[in-house]
Amino acid sequence: MAKEIERKFLVKGDGWRSEATSSKNFVQAYIAAMDDRSVRVRLVDGKRATLTVKIGSKSFSRDEFEYAIPLSDAEELLSSAIGIILEKRRYTVEHEGFIWEVDVYGGVYRGLVVAEVELQDEADTPELPDWIGREVTGDGRYSNMVMATENVSAELSHALSRPAR
């Protein structure tokens, strides 16, 4: 079992782009969702797939179990998705010893750009890059599960900066 500990922020500007070291395209959806747990299917660059189970109700620390699955299984599971299938391009940015993941959303959430920083310990306090905006850790509207199952695009319209690249 892995522990996922992360903080989430809105992104302001494009300053992060020059620091990005890699990127991947994700198509993901939820096949089960409850207040404190979810089951997600994800396609990565259309070439590989994972099934992820997350359990926990803390805002930035949960148990996470992730398994590789056949691409054909993932595609079939996507057809059984609850709500919206999310599309995003994830960029990896290294900053002051921490790995940041910057997600640029497409589809219904086109224009939304969110950064997450993975932590080793809940007490970690990473240096925030100048392109980091308001912290949204714990704001359920920015949870991928909520975004997929409840379509909160109207509520997040203030955070959408169209057009996204």
* Residue among 30, 91, 109, 142 flagged as catalytic: 30
User: Are the CB atoms for 159 and 112 separated by under 8 Å?
Assistant: yes
Distances (CA, A) of 163 to 105, 109, 141, 160: 10, 11, 21, 9
**30 catalytic residue (yes or no):** yes
Which residues, other chains included, contact 81 with Cβ-Cβ below 8 Å and sequence gap of 6+? 29, 30, 31, 41, 148
Q: Which residues pair with 24 in a beta bridge?
A: 90
**Residues designated as active site:** 30
